Amino acid sequence: MSSSIGRTLLSFQTNAKLYKLNTTVTSIIPFSALAEANRLIFKTAAEDDTVVTTEATIFHPQGGGQPSDVGEIASSSNGAKFIVSTARMDAINEGQVLHLGRFADTDKVFKIGETVEQSIDVEKRTLYSKYHTAGHVLGAAVRHLLEHDIEGFDELKASHFPDSASCEFKGLIDGKWKPPIQEKLDAYVAAAMPVEIDFWDEDDFKKNGLERLIPNGDGIKLAEGEKYRVVKIIGAEVYPCGGTHVDTTDLCGKVGVKKISRSKGTSRVSYTVDA
């Protein structure tokens, strides 16, 4: 069952503390009826799962190194409750968020066009936000400490999953740098640097001398008239980022450098967060 669907409004990108949201159901699709490309993005889905889309969402879909939010979507009209196990960006319809899960009672389901209330697991959102901010703070610490000492240095990708959190860099970072990186990281966290969200176009990156950060299009697709979302850690770095974050760096808690590993010209610095 579906209606004409456009891009999903990503409400979490302007307010990461929006833990409940009233929105409208735009489609209800059995997982078994999904196009193959979308079936493949859900690695642990069952054939009897269902996918729901809505006009807006507070569920951060897995991506950008951040895990998916979980929670529920509920109807006040008939008591229907949909348990969201994961959310992903649609692989076919650009800008659409797919909420995968199951109805608590298969006799009570949503109707297309009805208003429902989304609720996310606040504890997990907070944890994921701490890890995501901590990853950027670690990246900033390593850049400011080593970018002129490591040949060919650059920041590459990152994972902010609690069980596999790490930042990857171009260049070989020797294990001797672990204590200085930890010291720099501790200083950035203790400084309670504000973490601000902004929206930039290419000219904004250039005005700030950050041409190197202009997204090349991979993984970031903007609608006409949109700008890139950036996260500014005031006093440290700016990152193009669609994830959720804490307000100041000290709210990450204790961030620890776990280990530094090297392979084929790149280095991975793994980290932990003791929130």
What's at 225, amino acid-wise?
G
Distance CA 170, CA 147 (A): 10
Check residue 110 and give its pLDDT. 97
Residue 221 reports pLDDT greater than 70: no
Check residue 219 and give its pLDDT. 54
Which residues lie closer than 8 Å to 138 by C-beta, 6 or more apart? Answer: 167, 181, 185, 255, 257, 269, 271
Token pair listed for 152 = 């060919």
Check residue 224 and give its pLDDT. 75
Check residue 2 and give its pLDDT. 43
Q: How would you label 158-190 residue by residue, b for 16+ Cβ within 10 Å and e otherwise? A: bbbbeeebbbbbebbbeeebeeebbebbeebbe
Distance CA 233, CA 59 (A): 23
Which residues lie closer than 8 Å to 201 by C-beta, 6 or more apart? Answer: 227, 228
Q: What is the rounded average pLDDT for all residues in the chain? A: 94
Check residue 215 and give its pLDDT. 83
Handedness of CA 170, 175, 176, 177 (dihedral sign): positive
DSSP state of 223: P
pLDDT band for position 220 (cuts 50, 70, 90): low
Q: Are 48 and 71 in contact (CB under 8 A)?
A: no
pLDDT band for position 1 (cuts 50, 70, 90): very low
